[in-house]
């Protein structure tokens, strides 16, 4: 007599790679939550604490969702982190708190640009205007203050929502240019991280410059050059196909135009334009131009690098002249605001005074300040020499070299702050995220 047996259905188990991804995501959100909690606990009264209070809840919820909800946990965790670390603090601070110094500088410079075609006060007025009279940014940065200058008030007129939106779109484009899926997810994760959400909540203008730098690196990568050159197709699920329906027609139109363009307009020109835009926003992007040009020399030769640099410089100059023509005809104000002020050579000293080696040396007196500037110039020369002797040969090496160079320059600058290290840390994060090679759909299958 046979015995009837039943076999229980196997319990569904997440693929090891997928489970590992969820574990890493939960771990990162937990680290972010600890950091935000530290900001809330130790930063003292001020706007920093408000960001920490909002962000610690968002990151903690994201960590729990990513760990416990394996099917849609990553999407829910992203939503929680964006809501807690970016959306909520930006809305709260923009509507309930006094404008931060960075927000004031950007909005005032935009008003000056509209009325005088120059976002900089002349040296005579700077002498009596105090720290907030100085505008250390280049003309393209004033775009984020134009909504307020045009009459919008409240959240719509605050630069911070526009900084957040532009930064997210640029990061999504940077990851999408790598011809891999998950660009929107990676762009959202990068924007929700403390490196980006914290400064945006305070109105600090570095995030879009960092995102433009990452986009330029991505557009100079072999993956993008293969797509733009017609030798490969974008990966399914990239940001262009997910967001728009015209990605394929636009690509066909580009290939048709490309055959009629001269050699100077090869696919890498777009990377040169992007880094040129970044260089017209802030001086912190200029080292990226040197590193990218050195990479192009190593990969494509000196003539290609000269074309690349010429396109980038032409883009920067065109934007500066188009947006602020008066700053070119009367450059004294431009020099005082964007060069002398950051170097601590004006009557009003920059509030960027973190206790890093360059600033500590500058506090020893005039001789120490001169020594700090000499060390900064020497570091720049050493970085340039390293690019000539051993240039980076791919975008990952270029990003790493740029991160190391910026860290050295920030450490030796007379007027510096810890927040500037978001650039090298962000570049390292971009390297790690851009190497993600397996899409979620494949892992699930």
Q: Which of 55-64, 238-247, 313-322 has the lowest mean pLDDT?
A: 238-247
- Assigned domain for 316 exists: yes
What local confidence, expressed as pLDDT, does residue 443 receive?
A: 35
Q: Is 434 exposed, middle or buried (0-12, 13-18, 19+ CB in 10 A)?
A: buried
Q: Which of 188-202, 215-229, 302-316 has the lowest mean pLDDT?
A: 215-229
Asked if the model's pLDDT at residue 373 lies above 70, the reply is: yes
Cα–Cα distance for residue pair 136/338, rounded to 1 Å: 4
- Assigned domain for 4 exists: no
Asked if the model's pLDDT at residue 233 lies above 60, the reply is: no
Confidence of residue 249 (pLDDT cuts 50, 70, 90): low
Together in a domain, 89 and 121: no
Q: Is 11 exposed, middle or buried (0-12, 13-18, 19+ CB in 10 A)?
A: exposed
Of 22-31, 236-245, 255-264, the range with the highest mean pLDDT is 22-31
Together in a domain, 26 and 74: yes
Asked if the model's pLDDT at residue 340 lies above 80, the reply is: yes
What local confidence, expressed as pLDDT, does residue 18 receive?
A: 45
Confidence of residue 350 (pLDDT cuts 50, 70, 90): confident
What local confidence, expressed as pLDDT, does residue 171 receive?
A: 95
Together in a domain, 364 and 306: yes
Task: Please compute the mean of the pLDDT values over residues 3-18 and round it to a whole number.
Answer: 40
Confidence of residue 362 (pLDDT cuts 50, 70, 90): confident
- Each residue's pLDDT tens digit, 92-141: 999 999 999 999 999 999 999 999 999 999 988 887 778 889 999 999 99
Together in a domain, 429 and 300: yes
Cβ-Cβ contacts under 8 Å for 74 (sequence gap 6 or more) = 21, 22, 25, 66, 185, 440
Where is pLDDT greater, at 87 or 346? 87
- Assigned domain for 160 exists: yes
- Assigned domain for 2 exists: no
**Chosen domain end from 31, 66, 96:** 96
Which token pair is 28? Answer: 């990162």
What local confidence, expressed as pLDDT, does residue 247 receive?
A: 44
Together in a domain, 38 and 173: no
Confidence of residue 225 (pLDDT cuts 50, 70, 90): low
What local confidence, expressed as pLDDT, does residue 305 receive?
A: 93
Task: Please compute the mean of the pLDDT values over residues 296-302 and round it to a whole number.
Answer: 91
What local confidence, expressed as pLDDT, does residue 86 receive?
A: 97
Together in a domain, 146 and 257: yes
Task: Please compute the mean of the pLDDT values over residues 60-86 and round it to a whole number.
Answer: 89
Question: In terms of DSSP H, where are the helices of 330-421?
Answer: 331-335, 357-362, 366-389, 395-412
- Assigned domain for 196 exists: yes
Asked if the model's pLDDT at residue 258 lies above 90, the reply is: no
Cα–Cα distance for residue pair 214/271, rounded to 1 Å: 10
Task: Please compute the mean of the pLDDT values over residues 14-25 and round it to a whole number.
Answer: 57
Together in a domain, 329 and 248: yes
Cα–Cα distance for residue pair 433/422, rounded to 1 Å: 16
- 185-188: Cβ within 8 A, 24+ apart: 185/74, 185/75, 185/78, 186/433, 186/434, 186/436, 187/239, 188/78, 188/82
Q: Which of 77-86, 266-275, 367-376 has the lowest mean pLDDT?
A: 266-275
Cα–Cα distance for residue pair 199/118, rounded to 1 Å: 26
Cα–Cα distance for residue pair 375/257, rounded to 1 Å: 48
Together in a domain, 65 and 189: no
- Assigned domain for 414 exists: yes
- Assigned domain for 106 exists: yes
- Structural domains counted in the chain: 2
- 234-238: Cβ within 8 A, 24+ apart: 234/176, 234/179, 235/179, 235/180, 235/181, 235/439, 236/181, 237/181, 237/182, 237/439, 237/441, 238/176, 238/179, 238/180, 238/181, 238/183
What local confidence, expressed as pLDDT, does residue 19 receive?
A: 47
Together in a domain, 164 and 23: no
Together in a domain, 91 and 106: no
- Assigned domain for 172 exists: yes
Confidence of residue 222 (pLDDT cuts 50, 70, 90): confident
Backbone φ and ψ of 390, nearest 5°: -140, 80
- Each residue's pLDDT tens digit, 138-175: 999 999 999 999 999 989 999 999 999 999 999 999 99
What local confidence, expressed as pLDDT, does residue 21 receive?
A: 58
**Chosen domain end from 75, 96, 117:** 96
Task: Please compute the mean of the pLDDT values over residues 11-26 and round it to a whole number.
Answer: 55
- The C-alpha R_g of the chain, in whole angstroms, comes to 24
pTM to 2 decimals?
Answer: 0.85
Task: Please compute the mean of the pLDDT values over residues 3-17 and round it to a whole number.
Answer: 40
Q: Is 386 exposed, middle or buried (0-12, 13-18, 19+ CB in 10 A)?
A: middle
What local confidence, expressed as pLDDT, does residue 365 receive?
A: 87
Cα–Cα distance for residue pair 67/14, rounded to 1 Å: 12
> For residue 56, what are the domain limits?
16-96
% of the chain exceeding 90 in pLDDT = 58
Confidence of residue 253 (pLDDT cuts 50, 70, 90): low
Asked if the model's pLDDT at residue 181 lies above 70, the reply is: yes
Cα–Cα distance for residue pair 130/37, rounded to 1 Å: 34
**Chosen domain end from 96, 128, 149:** 96
Together in a domain, 65 and 195: no
Question: Hey, what's the torsion of the CAs at 399, 427, 237, 167, to 10 degrees?
Answer: -130
Where is pLDDT greater, at 251 or 339? 339
Together in a domain, 304 and 391: yes
Asked if the model's pLDDT at residue 243 lies above 60, the reply is: no
What local confidence, expressed as pLDDT, does residue 328 receive?
A: 87
CB neighbourhood size of 224 (10 A): 25
């Amino acid at each position: 007599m046979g015995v009837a047996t039943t076999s229980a259905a196997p319990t569904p188990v997440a693929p090891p790679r997928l489970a590992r991804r969820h574990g890493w995501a939960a771990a990162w959100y937990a680290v972010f939550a600890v950091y935000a909690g530290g900001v809330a606990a130790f930063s003292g009264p001020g706007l920093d604490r408000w960001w920490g209070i909002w962000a610690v809840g968002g990151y903690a919820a994201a960590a729990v969702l990513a760990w416990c909800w394996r099917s849609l946990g990553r999407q829910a965790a992203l939503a929680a982190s964006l809501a807690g670390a970016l959306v909520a603090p930006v809305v709260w601070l923009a509507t309930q708190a006094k404008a931060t110094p960075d927000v004031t500088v950007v909005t005032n410079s935009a008003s000056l640009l509209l009325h005088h075609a120059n976002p900089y006060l002349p040296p005579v007025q700077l002498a009596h205007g105090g720290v907030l009279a100085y505008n250390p940014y280049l003309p393209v940065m004033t775009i984020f203050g134009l909504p307020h200058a045009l009459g919008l008030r409240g959240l719509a007129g605050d630069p911070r929502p526009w900084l957040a939106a532009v930064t997210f779109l640029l990061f999504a484009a940077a990851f999408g240019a790598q011809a891999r899926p998950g660009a929107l997810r990676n762009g959202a994760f990068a924007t929700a991280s403390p490196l980006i959400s914290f400064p945006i909540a305070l109105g600090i203008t570095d995030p879009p410059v960092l995102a433009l730098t990452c986009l330029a690196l991505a557009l100079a990568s072999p993956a993008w050059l293969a797509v733009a050159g017609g030798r490969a197709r974008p990966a399914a699920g990239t940001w262009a196909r997910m967001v728009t329906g015209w990605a394929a027609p636009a690509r066909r139109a580009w290939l048709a135009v490309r055959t009629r363009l001269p050699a100077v307009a090869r696919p890498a020109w777009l990377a040169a334009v992007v880094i040129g835009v970044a260089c017209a926003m802030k001086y912190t992007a200029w080292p990226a131009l040197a590193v990218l040009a050195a990479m192009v020399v190593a990969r494509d030769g000196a003539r290609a690098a000269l074309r690349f640099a010429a396109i980038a410089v032409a883009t920067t100059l065109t934007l500066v002249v188009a947006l602020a023509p008066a700053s070119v005809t009367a450059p004294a104000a431009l020099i005082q605001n964007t060069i002398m002020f950051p170097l601590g050579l004006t009557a009003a000293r920059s509030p960027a005074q973190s206790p890093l080696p360059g600033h500590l040396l500058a506090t020893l007196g005039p001789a120490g300040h001169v020594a700090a500037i000499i060390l900064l110039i020497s570091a720049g020369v050493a970085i340039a020499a390293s690019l000539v002797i051993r240039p980076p040969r791919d975008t990952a090496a270029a990003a790493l070299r740029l991160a190391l160079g910026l860290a050295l320059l920030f450490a030796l600058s007379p007027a510096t702050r810890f927040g500037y290290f978001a650039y090298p840390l962000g570049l390292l994060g971009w390297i790690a995220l851009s190497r993600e090679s397996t899409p979620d759909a494949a892992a699930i299958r």
